[in-house]
Structure 1
């Protein structure tokens, strides 16, 4: 950005400098050489001092950066001023002073731009974290409402199974309360989905069949927490529960190129049914979290082919950090 911006500035000055043509190409070439040398060397010096500057106040760091740029401009001006302006009307020091003043103004403008960009980035990250925490909190009642109905139906007929379901539910809630983790390993999401399906299997019995096809080597793929489970729940409520004969839920994960794909498939419902409000919210929350964390590369889409309904999740290939794995 600095190189392109500085070159555009040189172009403007070359147009202004030209008297009989649109652009003074000789002036443009010489000034481009001077400006690019100055920009590159100043940037290299500032980047080499980056760790030291990071520990200083904004005012102190600004003073140091501006001083580096001005000294760099002064050094190159002393070397190249007579070459760039052999017919200058001003004395050499007046010409150099003009260059230093121009460099000062440009440096302050660029630093101001970077400072505002940094503040905007910090604000965006804070808003995203608050949004993710809010979205994750909205999923917790989603777990409770559906799972407690299953447990209540088992207490009288099968207390042992009800107790097992309570343990699975406690693990699901334990995961949903970890709001500090923005990304977790795929292995953890698969385990949570299996616990949820264990609860549903107690309720649905033989009506629920499961197929797992998980490519090896994807255990540490980064994924937002509580992403896969709502998709599996959608498959249960829309594809299995309305069908008297039940059906098969298929969960597949594989890598292709720079992306990892997760697919949840279920049978198409036999009859039209009203959409489950909680599942619509969960699907919208999942899509919002994906966009907030990964941006455009992450996609959540729904498709239907014949009697099979598929939800496909595409994630950029990324490994969950060690902190998220603990």
Structure 2
């Protein structure tokens, strides 16, 4: 099995500071355990700890640097060959530093400290195999998690609410005779919504595409609800290429219509706001709060849980979803880390509102 994409390689990117830091902390804890075991008259042998710590830190840093540099080539190998190459690389590094350290600490000519070197190589072999095994299991778990998220995304994208479809078709049918141009626009908007629900290739799309999808959805609902639906848009310029999972904002807007506007005879206002602050982009959807908190909870639970799980899978901890009710206003806020989609090729919708 070849790994042609280094992003799918099971060994993490050791060029990142966090990954190197975790390796150093883990290796230092191992050195501490060995120093405690080595000590006989006290809790810890500090001389042994200092020398071994220096040796382990140097070998860890140099091995991580070499793996970092060779990672694109290693990613193109099969898993078994890449693992063998990494093990050989680390053992050669440990061998070089072992010979150098022993020549400095025990500079007796003609004496080859092979016994000590062999123990270091055996210990290094066991450690690197355990670490690589851990990396592999983590990678498998992450791939399984992403597959589950993709399946959930596909299920969510395939979900077109039956009540919305029936209402839309009735609205279009009533417009055919009185306003055929408006009916044609509604058909185009509805077809784009279906196209988006069936497009599952991209995990991330530009924010402007998601906003255009929301505008198409709201255009159809405006035909049905008329003056009962009032819209407020506050979109900060320059955020159109922000990466966002597809069908993230649209289901929240749909919930705002279904639970906040439709049950109210007087209707209400749906506000969509997009802004940035520091390294984050904030998306907010506000609508009148439903009279029944139980209805609100049941109606929003599925969309919010799906959205939160997808955000965590794609962005990790920096992505946050919050919802709150203050008085008669219900607010859902998304926080996404700044990430541009400029380097990817996306098909833009056929129509912009």
Given that 1:184 and 1:324 are in contact with CA atoms closer than 8 Å, whether structure 2 keeps it comes out as no
2:351 maps to which residue?
none
Match of 1:136 in 2: 157
- 1:233 corresponds to: 254
Q: Which moved more, 1:156-165 or 1:13-22?
A: 156-165
Q: Which has the larger radius of gyration?
A: 1
**Once the 2 structures are TM-superposed, how far is the Cα of residue 202 of structure 1 from its aligned partner?**
1.6
Name which of 55, 63, 77 aligns with 2:76: 55
Aligned to 2:95: 74
Contact kept? 2:145, 2:313, Cα under 8 Å: no
1:47-99 Cα shifts (integer Å, max 9, x gaps): 3322332233333333333333333323322232366679xxx9832222222
| Residue in 1 that maps onto 2:65 | 44
Distance of 1:82 and 1:110 partners within structure 2: 29
Q: Deviations over 1:238-263 (max 9, x none)?
A: 33333333332222211122222222
Q: Kindly state the Cα deviation for residue 169 of structure 1 after the two structures are TM-superposed.
A: 0.7
Cα deviation per residue 1:127-182 (whole Å; 9 max; x = unaligned)?
Answer: 32222212222246575244234334545655543333212211221222211122
Which of 218, 223, 243 is the equivalent residue of 1:202?
Answer: 223
Counterpart Cα distance in 1 of 2:133 and 2:305: 38
What is the CA–CA distance in structure 1 between the aligned matches of 2:326 and 2:184, rounded to whole Å? 39
State the number of aligned residues: 322
- CA contact under 8 A between 1:15 and 1:24: conserved in structure 2? yes
Q: Deviations over 1:16-75 (max 9, x none)?
A: 322222222112212222222222223323333223322333333333333333333233
Pairing of 1:168-317 with structure 2 (within 5 A): 168-268=189-289, 272=292, 275=295, 281-317=302-338
Q: Where in structure 2 are there 5+ consecutive unaligned residues?
A: 1-21, 348-353
For the 8 Å contact 2:255–2:299, the answer to whether it is kept is no
Secondary structure (helix, strand or coil) at the match of 1:3 reads helix
- Do the aligned partners of residues 324 and 293 (structure 1) sit closer, same or farther apart at CA in structure 2, a change above 3 Å counting? farther
CA separation of 1:300/1:151 partners in 2, compared to 1, >3 Å: closer, same or farther? farther
| Cα gap change, 1:32 to 1:231, in 2 (>3 Å) | closer
* Distance across 2 between alignment mates of 1:118 and 1:301: 29
Q: Is the 8 A contact 2:205 2:346 kept in 1?
A: yes
State TM-score, norm by structure 1.
0.84
Q: CA RMSD in A?
A: 3.0
From 126, 138, 143, give the equivalent of 2:147: 126
